[in-house]
Amino acid sequence: MSNFTATLLLSSTPRKSPPSTPPPQTIDSTYITETIRDAFSCLCTKVYLNLLLDTWKPLSTDSLSTATAVEVTIIDPTSSGIQIRALKGYNELKEFEYIYNVDVALQEDSVFRKHKRLVVFDMDSTLIEQEVIDELAAFVGVKDKVAAITESAMRGELDFTASLRSRAALLNGVPSNVFTTLKSNGTITFTPGAHELCKALKKLGCKLAVLSGGFQPLAEWVKSSLGLDYAYANTLEVSADGQSLTGVVLGDIVNAERKATLLKEIALKEGVDLRQVVAVGDGANDLVMMREAGFGVAFNAKPKVQEEAPSHLNSRTLRDILYLFGFTAAEVEELVD
């Protein structure tokens, strides 16, 4: 008998792009109502080849009637070996999420779900709210131009490595102390819940890493601020007089493939089974590492990334990721206290 866990969370953000054939109506709710639960049950029993649902469990509150996050165990009584990837691919699931503005995360109901040992994060628009290269570009008056390229790259429309080199070239002449300036003037801000999530994960004994297509000085600052164990990012060349950036990226680019390689290297070094690794990001360059990890989460991600990622979460706070591990609100409070 195969078991899966489904975590349903009300989306805190506007609906993502509709399915190819938009449903005739949408429904907005304050909680995961009985109507929503019944609709999901129907999806499992009729569309998903007669899968059965066990008892619903509220996560965000003690009461099922006022919960915004709930979980349920899905049972395959036939032991047919159906794969989660197949379950996620059904158009009916995408329509369900769109109609009710709910995110559904499907995972194998195994011991590895709650017992994570390594969590790796993207930095820009994940642990922090900004795209750093766009803020650097503001210093030489090309922010809009660079931001447009960044947006296309994060949607997966451009090759990341080539686009990074072309954007970095526009940074020629930016003062070399720019990273200190960005940290001190409040330009760079942490995503709500970042400190709480990392504190909770450290209490659980997890190793934490930031793997960024951004730049090492900011990645090191994020590592220090959040108590992470590893930080890998790109290095920008500084002029011979030490006064400005040249626009040249030194060494290997931390692109999608490099992120996945670093994830596996850290897991090997720490002796962590890949099934106990979580990868969190928002861009197309995070998809490869999400697939390598035991569990991947696209956080407030671009539509293409949400479509292709192992799971997605649209929330105002990173701490909601803890619900995906099966923790209740009371347990989360204990972890972040």
Active-site entry in 109, 124, 134, 286: 124
Closest CA to 215 of 282, 274, 128, 93: 128
Residue 273 bears catalytic tag: no
Separation CA 255–CA 166 (nearest Å): 14
Q: Radius of gyration over alpha carbons of the chain, in Å? A: 21
Helix 91-100 to helix 34-42 angle (10° resolution) is 170
Q: CA–CA separation, 227 vs 213, rounded Å?
A: 20
Distance of CA 228 to the CA centre of its chain: 17
DSSP letter assigned to residue 81: -
Which residue is catalytic, options 76, 109, 122, 282? 122
Measured between alpha carbons, how far is residue 21 from residues 29, 90, 99, 334 in Å? 22, 13, 12, 43
- Specify whether 122 is catalytic: yes
Give the residue from 52, 45, 55, 42 showing the smallest Cα distance to 3: 52
Active-site residue list: 122, 124
